[in-house]
Amino acid sequence: MKTIGIIGAMPSELADLRAALPSVKQETHAGYEFYISEMEGKRIVNVCCGVAKVNAALCAQVLIDRMGAELILNAGIAGGMDSGVHVCDIVIANEVLSHDVNPDFLVKYPPHCAVYPCDQELQEKTAQICERLGIPHHHGRIVSGEAFISSDAVKAEICSRLSPLAVDMESAAIGQCAYRNQVPFLSIRCISDNADDAGAMTFEEFEQVAAKQVADVVLALLAE
């Protein structure tokens, strides 16, 4: 039975997904609560990793080592970094990387990689699901860093260097862990704001919309 791991940073990002999955059992490893379900002949393990890259990488490695994840999906919210990407759109990552680490350092030492690719087949299936569900979606780069981006100047500087579609605090770390372990990976993010000085919905308003949007896409992907 194939084991699929799903990582969200915050409980709100997994709430709708957990409500829709069959009855579960729980295991605790390294302080993380892993929720285990079976769906259509697959073993589904979802976990809340907490915010930022260290939490995300540690949780992803435990998910692989202790829970036997053979594929990892990172689902949650992100800030929009491109004028064509709007609030409540889905961004399907084609690759992930850190925006706050000099890539030369990562390339210099093993595994000599600073940009971590997402699984092509998963990207294509997710895009087809978004089309079927009528959800606006985009393919492109997602970048991650240790700080929440809420400044026009910081956003512009990151965009000038890396040209991302979205920014978050976990995808790059999970992608790096998956790459090191040769586990297929995809990050699917729903845009919550434009990562700038302007406000969008309040977080409380948006998290309910985002959780439903991402859960619908991930559940459809699991079914396939």
The tokens for 8 are 């969200």
Q: How many CB atoms lie within 10 A of CB 212?
A: 14
Asked about 82 being catalytic, the answer comes back as no
* Catalytic residue from among 193, 196, 207, 216: 193
Q: Is 98 exposed, middle or buried (0-12, 13-18, 19+ CB in 10 A)?
A: buried
The tokens for 54 are 């260290």
Distance CA 107, CA 187 (A): 22
* Catalytic residue from among 13, 82, 89, 119: 13
Q: Measured between alpha carbons, how far is residue 209 from residues 134, 146, 192, 215, 216 in Å?
A: 15, 25, 9, 10, 11
Q: Are 222 and 40 in contact (CB under 8 A)?
A: yes
Q: Give the position of tokens 């002949």.
A: 41
Percent of the chain that is helix, strand, coil (3-state, to 5): 40, 30, 30
Asked about 13 being catalytic, the answer comes back as yes
Active centre residues (catalytic): 13, 193
